[in-house]
Amino acid sequence: MYNKTGIRILKTAVVVLVFILVSLTWFSISASALENDDVLINGTGMYLTTGGSWSFYQGYELVFKGLSSSQSGDKVWIELLLNGESMDDTIIREGEYFVYASNSNEIFNITVDTIYAGSDGGLVTFKPVWQYLDPTLPEPDMTQDPGSVDRSNGSLNNSNSSTGDKIENTAGFGAVLFFFCMSVAAIFKVHQKKNR
């Protein structure tokens, strides 16, 4: 009833469909594993002006304390707070990173991307910024996005004009799209071979 070409195309379509379903299942498991891998902020960017601060999940806050300019380069003084209490502070240059660990668990890994010095203060961009779950603290409220803190009234300011990049998590989407495109290309190639 079916000719050999039709059977081959049907077999190829079934194999590609199974491949797509297995890929989607694997990537959905991988994305959920990433979410459960204690990553709260995964490599986003942010910026602060002198005296500004950024609130993170679980009560952490990063404060840009000051800026020092010299012939050897600009340096920034940053301090990490937990619920208002100082946990660590450091002075670092562009390209250097700040790592904070608690009980042998890395909690923060933040790189100073660029420092801009001006007559009335400075601006520092951080990228990438990683925050991991602190297992000694209560689970974070993931419905609230981190952002800059307006110290004049103690409120959280989440407008993009003052906080830099918005934090988004689209883990696995690029890989799923890649495998979908590869599957379509494979079907097209097999179909071309059959029509020769």
Q: Are residues 20 and 115 in the same domain?
A: no
- Tokens of residue 173, six digits: 């989407």
User: If we measure between CA atoms, which residue out of 67, 57, 64 comes closest to residue 130?
Assistant: 57
Q: What is the pLDDT of residue 47?
A: 92
Q: Which residue has the higher pLDDT, 89 or 179?
A: 89
Q: Are residues 186 and 89 in the same domain?
A: no
Q: Are residues 71 and 159 in the same domain?
A: yes
Q: How far apart are CA 36 and CA 30, in angstroms?
A: 10
- CB atoms inside a 10 Å sphere around CB 48: 23
Check: CB of residue 73 under 8 Å from CB of residue 94.
yes
Q: Are residues 159 and 179 in the same domain?
A: no
Q: Are residues 130 and 179 in the same domain?
A: no
pTM: 0.59
Q: Are residues 146 and 182 in the same domain?
A: no
- Confidence at 54, pLDDT banded by 50, 70, 90: very high
Q: For 143-170, what is the mean pLDDT? A: 48
Q: Are residues 126 and 183 in the same domain?
A: no
Q: What is the pLDDT of residue 28?
A: 46
Q: What is the pLDDT of residue 98?
A: 96
Residue found under tokens 């890994």: 109
Q: Are residues 44 and 76 in the same domain?
A: yes
Q: How many domains does the chain have?
A: 2
Helices (H) and strands (E) in the chain, counts: 3, 10
Q: Are residues 181 and 98 in the same domain?
A: no
pLDDT digits (tens, 9 = 90+) for 115-146: 998 877 889 999 999 999 999 999 888 887 77
Q: Are residues 94 and 112 in the same domain?
A: yes
Domain of 73, CATH number, reads 2.60.98
Range of the domain at 75: 39-163
Q: Are residues 159 and 190 in the same domain?
A: no
Q: Are residues 122 and 184 in the same domain?
A: no
